[in-house]
């Protein structure tokens, strides 16, 4: 069975700073996807970024980037130039590639961006 | 624009009652999922469907059922609501080729 662990329940940084959220996972599978989802106070789950395990290059989306270390089973999210609108719960998630992708989520990290 | 909707957004019910939460998507996605979100657990998979007439149990399926009679809808039924089923429920869908799951806005359920 796959597990996802987010070891930082809460984090807080000042606006414009860079912050890194940690995620580790455990699996025996070789082909899978990793995701970061954002959940603002509205509760809507919003995809932030996605990484395919077979790709060596780290995914980037504007101010968001990941550090994917497959051997270490680590998948951290870096937010650059943080903004007040980045305040949210962030969930790391894992899904194997074959068939319908059942997401396995971590417990979440509550990120607060202070003005 | 394609979307995924859930109804109701908020529901209060009593222990023992049957409750059905609706999920409707206009993405024409084959795959649909139901998750529950509780403090300290993130989101956990309840049931999922790969297509019409297909349903499968997830990690926390006890006390829940689903049916898939068309592509667009996957209603979640609580056969006899229990206080332990107080939670926020999310529906999600994904296409056969595009694996990213898109989530509905969630339903907050309170079982008294």
Percent of chain A residues topping a pLDDT of 90: 74
pLDDT at A99 exceeding the cut of 70: no
In whole angstroms, what is the distance from residue A91 CA to residue A46 CA? 10
pLDDT at residue A29 in the model: 86
In whole angstroms, what is the distance from residue B6 CA to residue B10 CA? 10
Nearest chain B CA: its distance from A76 CA (Å): 17
pLDDT (mean) for A30-58? 92
pLDDT at residue B41 in the model: 75
Please, which residues bridge with residue B92 across strands? B33, B103
Residue A115 token pair: 């003005």
pLDDT at residue B1 in the model: 74
Residue B2 token pair: 């394609």
∠ CA(B92), CA(B96), CA(B98), 5° rounding?
75
pLDDT at A95 exceeding the cut of 90: no
Residues B51-110: tens digit of each pLDDT: 999 999 998 999 999 999 999 999 999 999 999 999 999 999 988 755 788 999 999 999
Residue of B nearest to A104 (CA): B44
pLDDT at residue B22 in the model: 98
Residue A98 token pair: 């074959």
Query: Sorting pLDDT into bands at 50, 70 and 90, what band is A87?
Result: very high
pLDDT at residue A30 in the model: 85
Residues B34-49: tens digit of each pLDDT: 999 998 778 999 999 9
pLDDT at residue B100 in the model: 82
| 3-state SS, residue A24 | strand
pLDDT at residue B38 in the model: 92
Find the chain A residues whose C-beta atoms sit closer than 8 A to any C-beta of B: 4, 33, 35, 37, 42-47, 50, 91, 93, 95, 97, 99-108
Query: Could you give the dihedral angle defined by the CA atoms of residues B1, B45, B80 and B65, in that order, rounded to the nearest 10 degrees?
Result: 70
Residue B77 token pair: 């039924």
DSSP letter assigned to residue B49: E
pLDDT at B111 exceeding the cut of 60: yes
pLDDT at A100 exceeding the cut of 70: no
In whole angstroms, what is the distance from residue B51 CA to residue A22 CA? 35
pLDDT at A1 exceeding the cut of 90: no
In whole angstroms, what is the distance from residue B36 CA to residue B60 CA? 9
pLDDT at B4 exceeding the cut of 70: yes
Residues ≥6 apart with Cβ < 8 Å to B32: B23, B25, B48, B49, B68, B74, B91, B92, B93
| A104 contact residues in B (CB cutoff 8 A) | 45
In whole angstroms, what is the distance from residue B69 CA to residue B11 CA? 24
pLDDT at A76 exceeding the cut of 80: yes
Nearest CA to B10 out of B82, B89, B79, B66 is that of B89
Residue A17 token pair: 């700073």
For residue A65, give Cα distances in angstroms to A32, A51, A52, A57, B108: 18, 10, 13, 11, 32
In whole angstroms, what is the distance from residue A11 CA to residue A18 CA? 12
A100 to B31: CB separation less than 8 angstroms, yes or no: yes
Q: Which residue has the tokens 């957004």?
A: B9
To the nearest whole number, what is the mean pLDDT of chain A?
Answer: 93
pLDDT (mean) for A56-71? 95
């Amino acid at each position: 069975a796959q597990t996802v662990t987010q070891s930082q329940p809460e984090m807080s940084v000042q606006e414009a700073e860079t912050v890194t959220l940690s995620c580790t996972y455990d699996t025996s599978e070789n082909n899978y996807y990793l995701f970061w989802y954002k959940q603002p106070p509205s509760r809507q789950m919003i995809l932030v970024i996605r990484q395919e395990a077979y790709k060596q290059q780290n995914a980037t989306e504007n101010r968001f980037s990941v550090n994917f270390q497959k051997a270490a089973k680590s998948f951290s999210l870096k937010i650059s130039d943080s903004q007040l609108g980045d305040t949210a719960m962030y969930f790391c998630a894992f899904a194997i590639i074959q068939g319908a992708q059942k997401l396995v989520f971590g417990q979440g990290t509550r990120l607060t961006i202070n003005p | 624009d394609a979307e995924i909707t859930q109804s109701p957004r908020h529901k209060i019910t009593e222990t023992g009652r049957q409750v059905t939460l609706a999920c409707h998507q206009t993405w024409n996605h084959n795959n649909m999922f139901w998750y529950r979100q509780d403090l300290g657990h993130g989101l956990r998979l309840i049931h999922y469907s790969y297509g019409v007439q297909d349903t499968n149990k997830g990690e926390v399926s006890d006390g829940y059922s689903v049916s898939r009679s068309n592509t667009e809808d996957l209603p979640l039924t609580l056969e006899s609501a229990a206080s332990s089923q107080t939670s926020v429920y999310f529906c999600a869908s994904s296409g056969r080729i595009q694996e990213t799951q898109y989530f509905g806005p969630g339903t907050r359920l309170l079982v008294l």
